[in-house]
Structures are given as structure tokens and as C-alpha cells.
Amino acid sequence: MIRSYIRHGVVAVLLLASITVVAQSWQSPSIDPKIEARAQTLLRQMTLNEKLGQLSQIFWYKGAPDDRIQKGELGSYLFLTDPHEINRVQHVAVEQSRLHIPLLIGFDVIHGFRTIFPVPIAQAASWDLDLNREIQSVAAAEASSVGINWAFAPMVDIARDARWGRIVEGSGEDPYLGSQMAVARVQGFQGAVPGSANHILACAKHFAGYGAAVGGRDYDASYLSDTELQNVYLPPFHAAVDAGVACIMSAYMDLNDVPASGNRWLLHDLLRDSWRFQGFVVSDAWAVYSLEAHGMARDAEDAALRGLTAGVNMDMGSDTYLKYVPKLLDEKKVTMQQVDQAVLPLLRAKIELGLFEHPYIDESKVDAALHDPAHLTLARRAAARSAVLLRNENTQLPLSKRVSSIAVIGPLADAHQELQGSWSFGGDPKDVVTILDGVRANLGSGVAIHYAVGTTVKREDQANLDPDRLAQSAASTAPQEPDAEIAKAVAAAKASEQVILVLGELDSMSGEYASRASLTLPGKQQLLLESVAATGKPITLVLVNGRPLDITWASTHIPAILEVWFPGTQGGNAVADLLFGDANPAGKLPVTWPRNVGQEPLYYNRNLTQVHEDDPKFASYYWDEPQFPLFRFGYGLSYSSFAISDLKLSSATMESRGIDVTVEVKNTSDRNGDEVVQLYTHQRYGSASRPSRELKGFQRLNLAPGETKTVLLHLTLADLSFWSPATHQRATEASTYDVWVGDSSVATNHAQFDVTATRVQP
């Protein structure tokens, strides 16, 4: 939390002496007066139980309590997706309740609804904001067609530890990339404004610091300095709020020993007072009730008190408010004004959505909305644009179609559900084009396809095994001789000119409650990999997964490695497009890829610390492991080649209008392709240590063979600002700044400029 330290007082005074305060007045985001008046009028008519009903959301699988809806004691469902049933309960709410208030219907529309797109970390790997907007817009259109009007997305948590399962659900490790993706996704879900046709409410989650769980263990506590919280983990949420996100979801975990769903500083002081957020906060599932388990609340009644007074508008799942707030009012522990303040944003949201005028959906149009061929075309393009080419020695890729035989091997080669990834409840695995299917369709009947599964993979939870079973499980993972399935895979490889080996994780191995202590290939996949590689055949490794994996052996033994993440419904077609050159990979890593789990947490934007000019051992490194990652943040290859040069700044000094940064980008190959130009900065000195490099701009562009384009990236004073632990304020400080522009976080085109006066952000 924000704290003040007397020991910083003198430093702050000295720094403030040379500070220029930017004279700006903060204007609270406007609320339509007509919507506010309508909400206030409705609120005045409501009984206490009707108000508490609006603050309550229940899971559909708990049943359909029509009597609660009729009494106005239920404001929202989640996990209800059947359009007929949604219409039915909306009829009950609108026609049988006293005040005719429709229901919010929420669902985890994370990376698509019926059409499943690549998982969010893959979408971030596209570095394509327009694509991300389009994906969420299509997802919103499909979800809204069945009556869903609220998505529990985007997840904007920063994740610096690949062990954390929910890294798959966000945009990776960088606050700038994460902020840009957050804005694009909010805009895609909500359209121009909440209530736009065929759009739904977005909900940025999980507020805040959830991605910093100790040891990468989901639900575990997060301990973050003020600096990390303000400069790394909060910016994507702030960006989502500025973009008009309708909802914020409070997180499960403790943040610096204060549970996030009972944290008044987070949910009130920061979110509402400082950021002027006007929407509503929903707890994560049972997170208010769980305040007792945290040891913050004495009992469930106390949990209701702490959740409501902290700023949680809607209790997801536990009915804690409905059960205990009446007693809290009687005991004068909460006031009716506090209840009303919690209800108002929910009423405004329903009015903004147009639910009172249009509470029902046209069931005759659902099928067409869910099976629009254009959505499949977008899914195929998105999967191709999200893939990252990690290795391509001797230009092995793209593969030639003029071969007589190809082996397609691996437990994920013909997988359906697994290609969808986690949080794909609305999708149908039967719709998924597997990688084997995609290769067959791409090559046609003229090429013999030799398929072998090689090995099977399953998730075996170790946490609750008794000692005997744990010992047996450990013994089963010891090195073993190749079994019959691996032998079949080796035979298929030997009988083929080329080998496509598809390895990685099951969808259940990434996502919520899916943290891993190891990043190795699960099961016998490493044995399969090495056995097939021993045949000497040209191998292309295709990775299907939701996090970086330990592929250090493969990175020196396998000539071509293509990261396709969990690519979604059209994944197989997209992968085949990439493998055979019908599409050109251009994705870039949104996370730093470690050599092994011992390097975690690992991220590029580290501070520089101890350096001894005469002895390099006095530096931050492991003596038994290279200090650099396997693949850098922002890294990704292409079948094309590019030259980035002629870096120029519009000025040697940045003033209030900012600086234009330009570079020349040339396609030096004979193949059309995309490049992602990335801009990084570094503040050389100031009130606090600053990261060695920070992403501050990027642009994905397409170039024809031999074509040169000028790329302009505008850098502002706000881009350079940070929250200083010395001054306890956000400012752009007087300093010299380095600029690098290139194709990854190790860009080499360099320039520098000065900021002559510190400017404090209001």
C-alpha cells in the first residue's frame, strides 16, 4: 500500500525544488445525466432485499430459483449459456418481478465463445491491436446472440513467472504491451460505448497483483513493493479504466497481507477516488465469503461487512450480502447510503446496455450468429498471426509440398479439445481442425501422411497423493526404455522424408489451478523427442502450450521450432499454412523464455545493480547457468528478413509535445512478410533506479520484397513517467534517456535525448 516514510522527506524536498508541475485539472468521467436520473429514480423505489438482489450473482448450475427472481432478489447469473433458458429467466425478471429489472448474464468469454480463438497470451504474441479488437468484437457478437451481456475478460494481470498457470490468460510480462492489449480488448468487447449493438460489457481482472503469486502458485499471496505495484502491475488496469471498462473483478489473493477483495485502498481510494472509476466491482467466485478463510474476517457476516465497505459491488457466488447485510444495517455497521452506492453502478450498467428496452434475444438468429464463416476465417488468420517462429536453422521452414511422405507425430498432433486451450467452455471440440487434419488438407492426397501418437499425456495432480502413491508416481517418471508407441513413432519417422513433431501441454495444464513446479515437457515427450531426433530425419517441432517450456535440448538439436500456443478452432489449418509457407510467421514473444525453471521469475525489464569493473563475478548471475534467457522478450523470426536502420529523433530535447522517433525498415528478402518494430527507453539517472530497458512503443507492418517503409513512433512525457519510491508521486524526471529501436528487446539502433525539467503528473 501507499505509505509515507520520514526518511524520504529531505530527498523529496530537494527533488521538488526543480520540479515543474503540469497544470491540469482532473475531470471526472461523465455519467449521462439521463441515465443517472433514471437509475436514481429506480433506486428510490427499491426495497432492501431488491437492492441486495442486485448485489448478488449465482452460478446457473446451482439451479434456477424463479422465486428469487420474482422477488427481485437476484441480479445476475453466470455460466448460463442456453439462449432459450436465458430468455425464460429474463421474462421472469422483466414480467414477474415488481420493478421489472432485467438480469445481467455473465460468462467467461476469454478467447471466443463458440468460435475459439488463440488463447490471450497468443493474441498478445501477434502484437496486433486491431486483430485483438476484432477478435473480442466477434466473441462479443457470438456471446450476445445467445443473451450473454457481460464477459469476465480481459485478464490484464502482468505475469513474470511461467510457473503460474494463468499466464496463458493474459498478455505476458510487460506493462506497456499489457496496457495496449487491455485497451484493445475492452474496445473490442464493448464497442464504441457500453450498449453498442452486438457488444457486451467487459470486466478487467484480477485487481490487483494476482499474477505475482509467490512461487507462481495460483491463489497464493502476492508481496509487491509500492514501486512494482504502481509501475508494473497497475498500469494495465488503469489503461482499461481510461478506456471505459464497465467492470473490475477483485482478486482472490492477499496483496501485502490484505485480501484484494477486502482491500479498501485498492477498491475505493485508488480505483474510485484516484482513477475516478464509475463502473462496478464484482468479486471473483466466493472471494467475499473467503475473507474468513484469509483470516481477515471473523465470520461470514464480517466478510460481508468488509467486502461491501471495501468497495465490492457484486458478490459472486456466495450470497453473503443477501444473508448478512440486513443485520449489519440493523446494527448500524453499514448505512443505507453505502448500500445505495453499491447498487447504483449496477443499475446504470443495465440501463446503458439497453436491457430494459431489449431484454430478450431473437432465438431464430442464434445459429447464424454462432456459425458465421467469417468468424472461422478470422480464427485461422489470428492463429497464424499469433505463432512465433523460435528457430529455423538452414531455412528448414517453410517445408516443401513436393515430398512423397511426411510423418506427423505427437500426443497433440490430432488433439481437438487441447487445441482450444483453457476457458473454452462455449466451444465444441468437434469443430476444431487438428494439426494432423490441417496438414492433410494442405497437402492433399498426393503426399503420404504417416501418423503416430508417440506417447500419451495426462495431468496427474501430485499435491494430495499419500507418500506411497507419491513414491510410485516418482518412480513412473524415471527414465525408461522406449515403449511400443514411441517405437511406432520412430518407425513413422524413418519411413518419411520430413517429420512434424507436435508436443506441449494439455489444455488442463495451463489456466486456473494449473501452476507447475516444472517447465519440462510433460510425460514421456522428451524421450519421444530424442528418440525421433535420433533417426536423423529433418524435424520441425510444433509447440502447443500456454506458457514457456523447457526446450533447451530442442533448441540445440531440432532445426525448426514453431510456437503456436493453444491456437483455437482453426489451429490446424493455421499451423499448416505456416509450415508450408502459405502464411509467414511474424509473432513476437510477450514473455521472456527461460532455459529452465530455475531462472523463474524471469523478465527483461530488470534494474541494473552491482557491477565491478575488474571482476565480472560481482554481478547478478548463476554460476552454473548462462545468465541470459533462451529467447528474449520481443523475439520472433520470420521467413522474410528485415533491416532496421537510420534511427532519427525529431529533437534532442523532449518538451511537452513529445518526440517523434523514426526508423527505416526494409524487407531484404524475396518474400512478403510482417515485422514488429519495437521501441525501448532507459532513464539514465533520477530519484530511483530504473529498468535497463522498457518497451514504450511498437508497430506491426507488412512489407513486400525489397520494400522500405518509414516507421514513426511518437514518444510522450507520459510514456517516460514512473512512480518514484523517493518522492511517492508519478513524474517524468529530468534526465538523459536512451532510445533503442529494433526487432526485439535487444534492439541495437540507438539514440538519446534529454528531459530538462521534472514534470509531475497530477
Regarding predicted confidence, which is higher, 182 or 2? 182
Looking at residue 3, what is its pLDDT?
31
439 is a domain residue: yes
Above 50 in pLDDT, residue 169?
A: yes
Above 80 in pLDDT, residue 467?
A: no
Work out the pLDDT band at 501, boundaries 50, 70, 90. very high
CATH of the domain at 729: 2.60.40.10
Work out the pLDDT band at 609, boundaries 50, 70, 90. confident
DSSP strand pairing (729-732 vs 722-724): antiparallel
726 is a domain residue: yes
Q: Are residues 278 and 256 in the same domain?
A: yes
Q: Are residues 248 and 314 in the same domain?
A: yes
Above 70 in pLDDT, residue 480?
A: no
- Percent helix, strand, coil in the chain (nearest 5)? 35, 20, 45
The tens digit of pLDDT for each residue in 665-677 reads 999 999 999 999 9
User: Quick check: 161 and 599 in contact, CB under 8 A?
Assistant: no
602 is a domain residue: no
Looking at residue 79, what is its pLDDT?
95
Name the phi and psi angles at 700, rounded to 5. Answer: -95, 130
Looking at residue 19, what is its pLDDT?
35
Looking at residue 623, what is its pLDDT?
80
The tens digit of pLDDT for each residue in 254-282 reads 999 999 999 999 999 999 999 999 999 99
Rounded CA-CA distance 733/242 in Å is 23
Above 60 in pLDDT, residue 11?
A: no
Q: Are residues 129 and 171 in the same domain?
A: yes
Above 70 in pLDDT, residue 24?
A: no
- Give the range of the structural domain holding residue 262, as residue numbers without chain letter: 27-365
Mean pLDDT score across all residues of the chain = 93
Q: Which three cell numbers stand for residue 521?
A: 515437457
Q: Are residues 60 and 121 in the same domain?
A: yes
Above 50 in pLDDT, residue 755?
A: yes
Above 70 in pLDDT, residue 311?
A: yes
Q: Are residues 171 and 317 in the same domain?
A: yes
Work out the pLDDT band at 472, boundaries 50, 70, 90. low
Summarize the confidence of residues 213-226 as an average pLDDT. 97
Q: Are residues 667 and 694 in the same domain?
A: yes
Considering the candidates 128, 174, 254, 284, report the single residue annotated as catalytic. 284
Rounded CA-CA distance 57/74 in Å is 7
Looking at residue 22, what is its pLDDT?
34
Rounded CA-CA distance 41/18 in Å is 51
The tens digit of pLDDT for each residue in 369-378 reads 999 999 999 9
Q: Are residues 404 and 502 in the same domain?
A: yes
Q: Are residues 91 and 126 in the same domain?
A: yes
The tens digit of pLDDT for each residue in 656-709 reads 999 999 999 999 999 999 999 999 999 999 999 999 999 999 999 999 999 999
The tens digit of pLDDT for each residue in 64-87 reads 689 999 999 999 999 999 999 999
601 is a domain residue: no
Q: Which three cell numbers stand for residue 259?
A: 485480501
284 is catalytic: yes
Summarize the confidence of residues 474-483 as an average pLDDT. 56
Looking at residue 613, what is its pLDDT?
61
Looking at residue 43, what is its pLDDT?
98
Above 50 in pLDDT, residue 17?
A: no
User: Quick check: 320 and 304 in contact, CB under 8 A?
Assistant: yes
Looking at residue 627, what is its pLDDT?
82
Summarize the confidence of residues 568-579 as an average pLDDT. 98
What secondary structure does DSSP assign to 83-125, as a single string? HHHHHHHHHIIIIISSS-PPPEEEE--SSBSSSBPPPHHHHHH
Above 80 in pLDDT, residue 6?
A: no
The percentage of the chain sitting over the pLDDT mark of 90, rounded to a whole number, equals: 89
Domain count, the chain: 3
Summarize the confidence of residues 24-30 as an average pLDDT. 41
Across 197-312, the runs of DSSP E, i.e. the strands, are: 203-207, 247-250, 254-255, 258-259, 280-283
224 is a domain residue: yes
- What contacts 24+ positions apart, CB below 8 Å, involve 93-100? 93/69, 93/359, 94/359, 96/66, 96/69, 96/70, 97/69, 97/70, 97/71, 97/72, 98/50, 98/72, 99/42, 99/45, 99/46, 99/50, 99/72, 100/356
Looking at residue 193, what is its pLDDT?
87
Q: Are residues 275 and 391 in the same domain?
A: no
Above 50 in pLDDT, residue 387?
A: yes
Looking at residue 228, what is its pLDDT?
97
Within 13 Å, how many C-alpha atoms sit on residue 459's CB side? 15
CATH of the domain at 453: 3.40.50.1700
The tens digit of pLDDT for each residue in 510-520 reads 999 999 999 99
Above 50 in pLDDT, residue 9?
A: no
Looking at residue 461, what is its pLDDT?
74
Q: Are residues 176 and 39 in the same domain?
A: yes
93 is a domain residue: yes
Q: Are residues 383 and 339 in the same domain?
A: no
Rounded CA-CA distance 469/471 in Å is 5
CATH of the domain at 188: 3.20.20.300
Of 327, 342, 365, the position where a domain reaches its end is: 365
Looking at residue 616, what is its pLDDT?
67
Work out the pLDDT band at 614, boundaries 50, 70, 90. low
Looking at residue 475, what is its pLDDT?
54
Within a 10 A sphere around the Cβ of 360, how many other Cβ atoms?
A: 15
622 is a domain residue: no
Of 338, 365, 392, the position where a domain reaches its end is: 365
Summarize the confidence of residues 125-142 as an average pLDDT. 98
Looking at residue 469, what is its pLDDT?
60
Q: Are residues 491 and 386 in the same domain?
A: yes
Of 365, 396, 429, the position where a domain reaches its end is: 365
539 is a domain residue: yes
Regarding predicted confidence, which is higher, 219 or 10? 219
Cis peptide before 601 (omega within 30 of 0): yes
Task: Give the dihedral sign, CA 524/530/534/539.
Answer: positive
Above 70 in pLDDT, residue 463?
A: no
Looking at residue 194, what is its pLDDT?
86
